[in-house]
């Protein structure tokens, strides 16, 4: 009987640690609500163009397995062959849409499905693949790279 009580105490202790960690809540088992610092790097088109997004803040609200919110701050810079560079002076801002959480898998877009992120929630961090599709003249350019976000 004592061995069973010790086993139950260990299970109860483990569950209390999980409950306090901020990772377990709602039907998805993961909660992304709150403030995150987001960056996307090495977003490349395979033809010499590369972009980075640094220092954006995500403010997310989750209901069940869906989430949405806003992004603000941060800057995008792009560089290409032949000395091309693009560094706008305006800060980024917009809406986080179509967010879903399934287990530790997270998917979300910025404003439209043209900027899509898919990754994994691991404790206080998100990481995965970012893909951005833009129209340039009569062609569509798709850039892919990696993103990372840390809970503030």
Q: Decide: helix, strand or coil at residue 64.
A: coil
Which two three-digit tokens encode residue 112? 């439209």
Query: Worst-scoring range by mean pLDDT, 28-32, 35-39, 77-81?
Result: 28-32
Helices (H) and strands (E) in the chain, counts: 1, 9
- Which residue, among 106, 124, 104, has the nearest Cα to 116 in the 3D structure? 106
Q: What is the pLDDT of residues 94-139, one digit of tens each?
A: 999 999 999 999 999 999 999 999 999 999 999 999 999 988 788 8
pTM of the model: 0.77
What is the band of 9 on the pLDDT scale with cuts at 50, 70, 90?
A: very low
Residue 100, strand partner residues? 66, 107
Cβ atoms 110, 130 nearer than 8 A: no
pLDDT of residue 58: 98
pLDDT of residue 37: 98
CB 91: neighbour CB atoms within 10 A?
Answer: 12
20 φ, ψ to 5°? -90, -10
Q: Kindly tell me if the per-residue pLDDT of 14 is higher than 50.
A: no
Q: Decide: helix, strand or coil at residue 63.
A: strand
What domains does the chain contain, in order, with CATH numbers?
A: 24-151 (2.40.128)
Residue 43, strand partner residues? 51
Which two three-digit tokens encode residue 116? 């899509």
């Amino acid at each position: 009987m004592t061995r069973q009580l010790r086993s139950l105490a260990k299970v109860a202790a483990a569950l209390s640690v999980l409950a306090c960690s901020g990772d377990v809540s709602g039907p998805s088992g993961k909660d992304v609500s709150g403030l995150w610092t987001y960056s996307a790097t090495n977003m490349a088109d395979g033809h010499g163009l590369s972009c980075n997004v640094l220092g954006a803040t995500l403010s997310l609200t989750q209901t069940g397995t869906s989430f949405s919110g806003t992004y603000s701050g941060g800057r995008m810079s792009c560089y290409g062959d032949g000395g091309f560079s693009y560094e706008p002076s305006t800060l980024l801002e917009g809406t986080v849409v179509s967010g879903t959480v399934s287990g530790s898998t997270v998917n979300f877009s910025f404003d439209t499905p043209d900027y899509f992120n898919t990754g994994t929630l691991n404790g206080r961090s998100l990481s995965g693949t970012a893909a951005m599709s833009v129209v340039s003249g009569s062609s569509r350019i798709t850039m892919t790279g990696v993103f990372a976000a840390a809970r503030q």
